[in-house]
Chains A and B, each alone.
Chain A
Amino acid sequence: MAQRVAVRKTPKLFIGGAFTRSESGRTFACEFDGHSVHAARATRKDARDAVRAARTAWPAWRDRSAYNRGQIVYRLAEIMESRRDQFAQALRSSIATPTQADREVSAAIDRIVWYAGWCDKIEQVLSTKNPVSTPHFNVSSPEATGVVAVVAPHAPSLLPLISTCVPIICSGNTVVVVASEKDPLSAVSLAEAIANADVPAGVVNVLTGYRAEIAPTLAAHMDVNAIDLWISDEDLDAKTAELACDNLKRVRRRPEPLTDFWYGRDAQGLDWIQSFVEIKTVWHPAGL
C-alpha cells in the first residue's frame, strides 16, 4: 500500500483569536519535520493590528475574576498536555533531540500550572494596607499594566514563550508576542492550544517574522504599556529600548540566557508577574 500523503499545515499569525496570513502576504522559510514550510512574516501593520486586538481584549480580561483567569490558564495546561506530541514534534524539528523536546514540553506545562495557581493570590501577596496618620482607609494593590509586548528569545522556542507570556496574562494584561525567529512553529502550536483553551480572543496574539522588523514598531507604539525584550543583538536591543521611552513603557530587558536558565529557579517566580503590574493606592476617609 502506498504511503499516505500527509496533510501539511500552513503556519499563520494569531491575532484577535483568528489565524491569519500576514497582510503583506510575505512569508519566510523554516524547517518543519524534515520539510520546508513558509511561516508568515508579520509586518508593522500586522503588529499594529495585534496591538489593537490586545487593547480591545484587555478590559474584559482584566475585569474577569482572578479565579476565572486561573481556571483558563490551567485549562491551557490541560490542552497542552493532551497535545504533547504536537509540541514535541515541533521542537524536534528545530533543535531538540526527542529527550530534550520531551523535557521542554513537560517543563512548559508544569510552569503553566504553577502560574495558574498564582492568579488569585497576586493581589494578596503584593498588597499593603497602609497605616496612614490621618483618619483614612488606605490600600495599595497591584493592577494589570495593560498591553504588554514580548520579544521572545530565539531558543529554546517553547519554554521561554511560556515563561514570559503566562505570568504576564495572569495578572490581567494582554500580550503581543514576537516568536522565535529561528523556530516559529512552537509558537504556532501554542497559538492553536490557546485558541482551544477558552483564552478569550486577543488576550494572547502571536506574531512570527523578523524581530528587527517588528520589535521597533511595538516599542514605539503609543498604545503598548510595557515591553519585555530578550534580544542579544546589542544594536537592536538599544534601539528598541530607546524607542520604548516615547511613551515611557515599562521595560524589562535581558540578553538571551543559555538554555539551562529556563529550567532553573530564576526562570519562574512572583517577580515575573510583578514586573508587569502597577501599584494603585486608594484613599477614603474613615469616619462617621
Chain B
Amino acid sequence: MAARSRSISKSPKAPASPNGGARLAVTAPVKAAWQYVAAPEAHDYLKLASHYDLFIGGKWVAPKSGRYFATLNPANEEVLTKVGEASSADIDRAVQAARSAYEKYWRRCSPQDRAKYLFRIARSITERSRELAVLESMNGGKPIRESRDVDVPLAAAHFFYYAGWADKLDWAFRNAAPAPLGVAGQIIPWNFPLLMAAWKIAPALACGNTVVLKPAETTPLTALWLAEIIQQADLPPGVVNIITGGGETGASLVRHPGLDKVAFTGSTEVGKEIARECARLRRPVTLELGGKAANIIFDDAPLDQAVEGIINGIFFNQGHVCCAGSRLLVQESVHEMVIEKLYRRIQTLRVGQPLDKNTDVGAINSKAQLDKIETLAASGEEAGRKRYQTECALPARGYWFRPTFFTHVALSDRIAQEEIFGPVLSVMTFRTPDEAVEKANNTRYGLSAGVWTDKGSKNFKIASQLRAGVVWGNTFNKFDPSSAFGGYKESGFGREGGLFGLLPYVRIPWHSA
C-alpha cells in the first residue's frame, strides 16, 4: 500500500533483454525527467499548545516533577511543543488508575459495551484522520502520503477489527473461558506512533484489560491526540493511560510491581533487557523486535514489479520499519539487470518535505537515528562494498539520508547482519533456491521475508522454508488488522493482528494451572 505505481523515468537506452541475463553496466546518473511543483498539505489549522500533560485516570495531569521535554519536527529541527516527562511517581499514579479502572469499570463492563467503546474510537480516528496524518508527519518525518494512506486508516481499522472481538472471545477461544490479565504496560516505538498505539491498545481493551501506554520519546504527539479521542469517547477514566517520557520512563514502567503484563515493540537489544526483567518478575511479556528481512528475487520474477517491491520494501517510511526488506537476495542471472533497474528507479524517488504530497521519502526520525544510519553505511564503504544512492538535492535543515544501496555485500558484513533501520539496502546474490533459503535464514532475526517468482509452487515452497513470521509473496510491506504479525527467533514472540493477536491479552485458565 505504500508504493503506489509511479511513473518511472526511463532512458531510451534501457534495454528490454528477452533472456534476462544480459550484462548491463549501471550508467551515469539519471536526470529527473521533470520537476514537481510543491504540493504542501496545509497544517495551519493544527494549533499546538505550548506543552502537554500526562493522561492519567481520564484527566490531563502535570508530571509530578514538573519537567517537560521538547518534541521536534525532524524535517526542520524546530520545536513543535513540549510534553511531560513521567517519573516513577507518575507511573505509580497511572498504574493505580489502570488498576482501579480494571476493578471498578472495565472487568464489569459488558463485553458489548467494551465493543461499542472501541467502535467509537475507530470512528473518531477516521473523523479526525487528516489532522492525525498531518501531526504524524510533522512529529515523525514520514511522508504525508504514507501517514494519510497507511498509518491513520490502519489505526482506525485496527480498533474497528478488535472492537468486534470484544464480545466474541468465546468464539476465539472455544471451551476455554478466556479471562483478561489485568493491567498491561505497553511501550511503543517511533516509526508508526499512532498505528503502534492502536496495535497495542485495541486488543488489550477488547480482551478486558486496562493499559498504561508509553509512546516513544521522539514521537509522543499522535498518542496524546489518541488520548483526547479516548477521553471524548467517554471511556471510563483510567482504562487507557498515556504517559510520555524516554527510556528511563519505559524501564520504570516495565519494573512496576502493579502490572500483570508487558508488551513492547522496539529494538532487540532493549527487548532482551525487558525479557530478562520480566523473567525475574515472572511477568507475561510479548515482544515485537528488530528484523533484517530478506527480499528474494528469482530469475523468473516479474522484474519491474519486483523492483517496485524492493523500493517499497526498503524505502517505505525511510526504512524505519522493523520488517523492512533490508537484504536483497537476487538470483545471479538477473543481478545486473535488477541493479540497473533499481538504480534508475531510486533516482525518481522524491526525497524531501514530509508534508509535500509528492514526497516518497521523508525525514529521518531523529539525529540519533541519522547518526546510526551514517555509521552503518560508512561500515559498508569501509568493507569495500559498492555504494549507490539518489542524486537529488536535500533540504538544508532537518535530518536526511539519501536512499542508498550497496552491492557485493558479504553475509558477514555489518550491513548484512545488523538492523540499520534506515533507507539502506544490502544486495547479495544466490544461484540456487537452497542457497537463497540458507542466506535468507542466516540471521538472528526472523520477522519477515519476501519472495518474488512467477511460479506458484516455488513461492509456496520457499515461503514454507523461510524462518520468518510474515512472508510476502510477490508483494511487500502489506498490513491488515485481520492478519497476524510477529517474529521468529530474536525478532520476538507473540503476535499482533488477527485472532492470534488476542492471545497475548487473555488468560486461559488451564494455561496457568
Q: Do A and B bind each other?
A: yes
Say which one of B22-30, B195-203, B215-223, B488-496 lies at the interface with A.
B488-496
In the complex formed, the residue of B with least CB distance to A59 is B465
Q: Report if A281-B484 is in contact (Cβ < 8 Å); known contacts: A247-B444, A248-B271, A248-B275.
A: yes
Structural contact, A279 and B495, CB atoms closer than 8 A: yes
In the complex formed, the residue of A with least CB distance to B460 is A282
A134 within 8 A of B: yes
B25 to chain A, nearest CB (A): 33
B32 within 8 A of A: no
Structural contact, B474 and A284, CB atoms closer than 8 A: yes
Structural contact, A281 and B282, CB atoms closer than 8 A: no
A45 within 8 A of B: no
A225 to chain B, nearest CB (A): 7
A271 within 8 A of B: yes
Structural contact, A132 and B483, CB atoms closer than 8 A: yes
Q: Which of A215-235 contact B (CB under 8 A)?
A: 225
In the complex formed, the residue of A with least CB distance to B477 is A283
B181 within 8 A of A: no
A241 within 8 A of B: yes
Q: Which of B494-513 contact A (CB under 8 A)?
A: 495, 498-500, 508, 510-511, 513
Q: Report if A248-B492 is in contact (Cβ < 8 Å); known contacts: A269-B510, A281-B469, A282-B463.
A: yes
B108 within 8 A of A: no
Q: Which of A116-163 contact B (CB under 8 A)?
A: 128, 130-134, 136, 138, 140, 143, 145-146
A244 within 8 A of B: yes
C-alpha spacing A271/B513, complex, angstroms: 12
B48 within 8 A of A: no
Structural contact, B500 and A128, CB atoms closer than 8 A: yes
Bitwise interface map of B from 250 to 284 toward A, beta carbon under 8 Å scored 1, else 0: 00000000000000000010011001100110100
Structural contact, A130 and B279, CB atoms closer than 8 A: no
Which residues of B sit under 8 angstroms from A278, Cβ to Cβ? 469, 488
Structural contact, A283 and B478, CB atoms closer than 8 A: yes
B252 to chain A, nearest CB (A): 19
Structural contact, B510 and A271, CB atoms closer than 8 A: yes
Number of cross-chain contacts by CB at 8 Å: 111
Bitwise interface map of B from 277 to 320 toward A, beta carbon under 8 Å scored 1, else 0: 00110100001010000000000000000000000000000000
Most buried by A among B483, B484, B513: B483
C-alpha spacing A254/B512, complex, angstroms: 8
A102 within 8 A of B: no
Q: Which of B275, B279, B467, B508 contacts A271 (CB 8 A)?
A: B508
C-alpha spacing A248/B468, complex, angstroms: 15
B403 within 8 A of A: no
A199 to chain B, nearest CB (A): 23
C-alpha spacing A254/B510, complex, angstroms: 12
Structural contact, B272 and A138, CB atoms closer than 8 A: no
Structural contact, B480 and A138, CB atoms closer than 8 A: yes
Q: Which of B276, B469, B478 contacts A279 (CB 8 A)?
A: B469
Structural contact, A128 and B484, CB atoms closer than 8 A: yes
Q: Which of B275, B473, B498, B510 contacts A128 (CB 8 A)?
A: B498
Q: Which of B272, B498, B510 contacts A246 (CB 8 A)?
A: B272
Structural contact, B1 and A134, CB atoms closer than 8 A: yes
B165 within 8 A of A: no
C-alpha spacing A60/B9, complex, angstroms: 48
Q: Which of B287, B468, B492 contacts A280 (CB 8 A)?
A: B468
In the complex formed, the residue of B with least CB distance to A284 is B473
A285 within 8 A of B: yes
Bitwise interface map of B from 451 to 480 toward A, beta carbon under 8 Å scored 1, else 0: 000000001000110011111111100101
Which residues of A sit under 8 angstroms from B157, Cβ to Cβ? 133
Structural contact, A225 and B489, CB atoms closer than 8 A: yes
Which residues of A sit under 8 angstroms from B63, Cβ to Cβ? none
Structural contact, A280 and B469, CB atoms closer than 8 A: yes
Which residues of A sit under 8 angstroms from B444, Cβ to Cβ? 247
B202 to chain A, nearest CB (A): 16
Which residues of B sit under 8 angstroms from A250, Cβ to Cβ? 493
Q: Report if A284-B475 is in contact (Cβ < 8 Å); known contacts: A247-B489, A278-B488.
A: yes
Structural contact, B480 and A134, CB atoms closer than 8 A: yes
Q: Report if A248-B469 is in contact (Cβ < 8 Å); known contacts: A140-B500, A242-B280, A281-B485.
A: no
Q: Report if A281-B510 is in contact (Cβ < 8 Å); known contacts: A128-B499, A248-B492.
A: no
Structural contact, B513 and A281, CB atoms closer than 8 A: no
Which residues of A sit under 8 angstroms from B272, Cβ to Cβ? 245-246, 248
C-alpha spacing A285/B454, complex, angstroms: 12
Which residues of B sit under 8 angstroms from A251, Cβ to Cβ? 279
Bitwise interface map of B from 153 to 168 toward A, beta carbon under 8 Å scored 1, else 0: 0000100000000000
C-alpha spacing A89/B330, complex, angstroms: 60
B404 within 8 A of A: no
Q: Which of A130, A248, A282 contacts B471 (CB 8 A)?
A: A282
A132 to chain B, nearest CB (A): 4
Bitwise interface map of B from 1 to 31 toward A, beta carbon under 8 Å scored 1, else 0: 1000000000000000000000000000000
Interface on B for A, CB 8 Å cutoff? 1, 157, 268, 271-272, 275-276, 279-280, 282, 287, 289, 444, 459, 463-464, 467-475, 478, 480, 482-486, 488-490, 492-493, 495, 498-500, 508, 510-511, 513
Given A133-B157, A138-B480, A248-B493, 9 more A-B residue pairs with CB atoms under 8 Å apart are A128-B500, A132-B480, A140-B500, A145-B488, A248-B287, A261-B513, A278-B469, A280-B471, A284-B473
Shortest 6 CB-CB distances between A and B: which pairs? A132-B480, A284-B473, A266-B513, A140-B484, A245-B275, A241-B279
